[in-house]
């Protein structure tokens, strides 16, 4: 780290920028939003923003999405409290977390396209740090299941290198930190049953019907 960057870290993230944002024209909410954006920009410029997060309003509810410079780190459903999600990220990745929607623009755009039926593959870099070992191998294999296709828990265990560990594969899928983008909704029981899903079975059914992987009518948005 050079002397200038070290000095910037000691000074903290851009107090001048935040003061300007707080004194800008507009109502309190607008100034607060501007200040938040200014803080995120300043923290990023000073090398202090390790994790950016935002809220994404989807047909399956309000999702929290978080990313690092490595890529998309987390997508969480409404069933998982935001404070718990952010607490885990702080403990396992970095406590330098800020709400910075602009940093998630590419993620939100691709999710928009997916839910509109215009995107079949995500082109996002992924940060796998919230999973490891066998679980990570299961999820990496899951990421390769094509749009509109399904696989079984036993198949995913086999693809991850341990054909007998189908229960462990199910546990890995149940704790998937990047659902939808890593499409664990495409993994079903061997008999074709839905199995479980972190976002709820109504959400799993919706996603599968959206992709045409289940027969029947057009999907209806799950009740929230």
Range 11-17 average pLDDT: 49
Q: Look over the chain and give the mean of its residue pLDDT values, rounded to a whole number.
A: 85
Residue with the bigger pLDDT between 169 and 8: it is 169
Least confident of 11-20, 73-82, 138-147: 11-20
In this structure, is the dihedral angle defined by the CA atoms of residues 73, 76, 80 and 86, taken in order, positive or negative? positive
pLDDT at position 44 = 57
Residue with the bigger pLDDT between 31 and 24: it is 24
Residue 36 has pLDDT above 60, yes or no: no
CATH number at residue 168: 1.10.10.10
Can you tell me the distance from the alpha carbon of 219 to that of 149, in angstroms, rounded to the nearest whole number? 16
Kindly state whether residue 198 falls inside one of the protein's structural domains: yes
Query: 99 — phi, psi (to 5°)?
Result: -75, 115
Residue 4 has pLDDT above 70, yes or no: no
pLDDT at position 84 = 95
Kindly state whether residue 65 falls inside one of the protein's structural domains: no
Tokens of 209: 């019907």
Specify whether the CB–CB gap between 180 and 111 falls below 8 A: yes
Can you tell me the distance from the alpha carbon of 18 to that of 105, in angstroms, rounded to the nearest whole number? 22
Tokens of 131: 């999973």
Q: What is the pTM of this model?
A: 0.80
Kindly state whether residue 92 falls inside one of the protein's structural domains: no
Q: Are strands 61-68 and 187-188 parallel, antiparallel or unpaired?
A: unpaired
What band does 55 get if pLDDT is binned at 50, 70 and 90? very high
User: What is the domain count for the chain?
Assistant: 2
pLDDT at position 217 = 72
Neighbours of 154 (CB within 10 A): 18
Residue 5 has pLDDT above 60, yes or no: no
* Angle ∠(79,85,88) on CA atoms, nearest 5: 140
Which of 31, 49, 67 represents a domain boundary (last residue)? Answer: 49
Catalytic residues: 184
Kindly state whether residue 76 falls inside one of the protein's structural domains: no
pLDDT at position 89 = 97
Kindly state whether residue 215 falls inside one of the protein's structural domains: no
pLDDT at position 101 = 94
Residue 7 has pLDDT above 50, yes or no: no
Kindly state whether residue 157 falls inside one of the protein's structural domains: yes
**Residue 3 sits in which domain range?**
1-49
24 DSSP 8-state letter: S
Residue 46 has pLDDT above 60, yes or no: no
What band does 23 get if pLDDT is binned at 50, 70 and 90? very low
Kindly state whether residue 78 falls inside one of the protein's structural domains: no
Residue 10 has pLDDT above 80, yes or no: no
Range 40-63 average pLDDT: 81
pLDDT at position 28 = 47
What tens digit of pLDDT does each residue of 186-214 get?
Answer: 999 988 899 999 999 999 999 999 999 98
Kindly state whether residue 59 falls inside one of the protein's structural domains: no
pLDDT at position 140 = 97
């Amino acid at each position: 780290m050079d002397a200038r960057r070290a000095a910037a870290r000691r000074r903290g993230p851009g107090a001048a920028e935040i003061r300007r944002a707080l004194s800008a024209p507009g109502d309190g909410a607008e100034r607060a939003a501007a200040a938040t954006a200014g803080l995120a920009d300043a923290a990023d410029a000073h090398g202090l923003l390790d994790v950016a997060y935002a809220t994404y309003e989807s047909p399956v509810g309000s999702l929290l999405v978080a990313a690092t410079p490595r890529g998309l780190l987390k997508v969480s459903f409404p069933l998982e409290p935001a404070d718990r999600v952010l607490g885990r990220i702080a403990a396992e990745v970095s406590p330098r977390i800020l709400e910075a929607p602009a940093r998630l623009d590419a993620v939100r755009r691709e999710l928009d396209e997916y839910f509109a039926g215009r995107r079949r593959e995500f082109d996002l870099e992924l940060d796998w740090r919230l999973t490891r070992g066998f679980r990570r191998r299961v999820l990496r294999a899951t990421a390769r299941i094509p749009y509109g296709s399904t696989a079984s828990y036993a198949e995913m265990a086999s693809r991850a290198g341990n054909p007998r560990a189908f229960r462990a594969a199910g546990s890995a899928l149940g704790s998937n930190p990047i659902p939808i983008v890593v499409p664990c909704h495409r993994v079903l029981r061997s008999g074709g049953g839905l199995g479980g899903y972190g976002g709820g079975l109504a959400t799993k059914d919706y996603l599968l019907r959206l992709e045409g992987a289940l027969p029947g009518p057009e999907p209806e948005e799950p009740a929230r």
